[in-house]
Structure formats: C-alpha cells, structure tokens
Amino acid sequence: MQKSTNNSRLDPYQTKTPTTTLQLDSFLNEKKVLGQFLKLAVSKKIPVCGTDTGRFLELACMLKKPANILEIGCGIGFSTYFLVKHLSLKGAYTGIDMNGERLREAENFISGIFSGKNLAFMAGNAIKMIPGLTGRYDMVFIDASKFEYPLYIKIIKNKLLPGAIVIADNIFYKNKVFSGEAGAHDAGSVAGIRKYIDYISKNLGFRTVFFEVGDGLGISEYMP
Ligand SMILES: C[S@@+](CC[C@H](N)C(=O)[O-])C[C@H]1O[C@@H](n2cnc3c(N)ncnc32)[C@H](O)[C@@H]1O
C-alpha cells in the first residue's frame, strides 16, 4: 500500500507544537491521517481493528504505561499506531505477522511516525517465533488467526510479567461466538475463540472482563 499521507505531520506528543490550538490541530491531523489509512485498508480488503478498538488500545496503553508490548498479528500497523503512540522512549514494541508484505507496510508506517522508539517487526508464524523471544511482556494484543487463540495464550503465558494485560480482539466474532450462528466456514474460528474464553476464564492466573468494543474485546490481567 502506498503512503498517501504526510506522516511526519503526526506529532502525538506535540513536541514541536506546545500550544492548545496546535494540540487540537495535531489531533485533527491525526484523525485525518488515520481515516485515510483506514479507508485505504478497507478498499484493499486488508483487515484492521477499527478506530474504536484502536482508541481503546490507546487508552489502555496510556493508563498502563507498558514497558514491553507484544502484538500478535500486527497486519499493516493500524492497531500498532495506537499501541505505540504513548510508548516511552525507554519502552519496547515487538510486532509479529506471517504476511511479510503487510509487516513491511506496518514497519514503514509506524517507524515513519515514531522514529526513535524501540520497535521490532518480525515476519513469521507467531506460534513458532514466540517461544524464542527472550523478553517478558506487560501488554499483549492478540489479533491473528482466531482458531489459534488458545495456542497464543498458552505460549505467551510464561512470557508475561505479573500484572500484564492481554487484550484479545474479535472475542464476540460478529456475535457468532454466543449465538451459535457459525457455519462450516467459521466453525474453526468460533471454536478457537470459545476455547480461548474457556482458558482465560478457568485459569486462575487471569482475571478477565469482556467489552463490547468493536468486534468484542477480552481484557485479561495476569495475576500469577
Ligand atoms: C486481523 S489482521 C491484523 C490487523 C491488525 N492488528 C490491525 O488492526 O491493523 C490478522 C493478521 O494476523 C496475521 N496472522 C494470522 N495468523 C498468524 C500467525 N500464526 N502468526 C503471525 N501472524 C499471523 C495475518 O497475516 C494478518 O495480517
């Protein structure tokens, strides 16, 4: 996907524009740039989490102030923008996606805006790559293959710091998870999300709430 906007005009910390008027200008510009990015993604049928979910991620990161973020399925980086926006210069972000082309889009988009932050974009299958990661994480966003959600949570569990927040997208999956409306095509995805919900609900290490934001979010606090 071509960059159609001037990313350098995004300045989330208003480091160059300290007045209230310019902060509002910066917000309006951010809204415009993200709107254009979203529109382009939708026109190319590239899945992204949507603005409500993105803003939820932004708020979660603004309040939690994570030091080490892991994103499983960063796609072209729409969700990444919100995860990284408030990341301090001492913090770190790792994004994984098995689609190399999307991953490069994400890296170009995010590194272009947040140069100077500690960002790593890794191409490959998260299930194979996560066991080899040496870091421990205090914020994880899961937004990859729904049928694999139970595997992701199992392999990241021993990489979580106490108090870590794990946010899983598509937890209601177009209301198919609870309505029983899934067809053969969706059966694997629905079964995966149900198993994920079962795991985080029964596993004593997690305290979980569900929010009706976007396609449904599961927010789990890791309390070993
Ligand atoms: C819904 S999209 C991600 C959207 C992105 N989080 C956003 O909101 O902009 C799901 C992504 O997960 C990736 N994916 C699916 N299974 C994966 C796996 N096992 N390992 C790594 N990436 C995976 C796909 O390539 C796809 O780009």
Query: In ligand 1, which atom is closest to the CA atom of 46?
Result: 2
Ligand 1 site, residue 54, Cβ cutoff 6 A: no
Q: What's this model's pTM, rounded to 2 decimal places? A: 0.92
- Mutate which of 99, 104, 189, 213 for ligand 1? The one with the most ligand atoms within 8 Å of its CB, which is 99
Amino acid at 108: N
Taking only the tens place, the pLDDT of each residue in 134-150 is 999 999 999 999 999 99
Looking at residue 108, its pLDDT comes to: 97
Q: Of all protein residues, whose CA lies closest to atom 26 belonging to ligand 1?
A: 75
Taking only the tens place, the pLDDT of each residue in 41-55 is 999 999 999 999 999
Looking at residue 8, its pLDDT comes to: 47
Looking at residue 21, its pLDDT comes to: 78
Ligand 1 site, residue 74, Cβ cutoff 6 A: yes
- Cβ(167)–Cβ(60) below 8 Å: yes
DSSP for 29-73, written as a single string = HHHHHHHHHHHHHHHTT-----HHHHHHHHHHHHHH--SEEEEE-
Looking at residue 180, its pLDDT comes to: 72
Looking at residue 16, its pLDDT comes to: 56
State in words which class domain 47-222 has: alpha beta
pLDDT above 90 covers what percent of the chain?
82
Ligand 1 site, residue 78, Cβ cutoff 6 A: yes
Q: Of all protein residues, whose CA lies closest to atom 7 belonging to ligand 1?
A: 48
Q: Which parts of the chain sit beneath pLDDT 50?
A: 2-5, 8
Q: Of all protein residues, whose CA lies closest to atom 1 belonging to ligand 1?
A: 47
Distance 213 CA to ligand 1 centre (A): 19
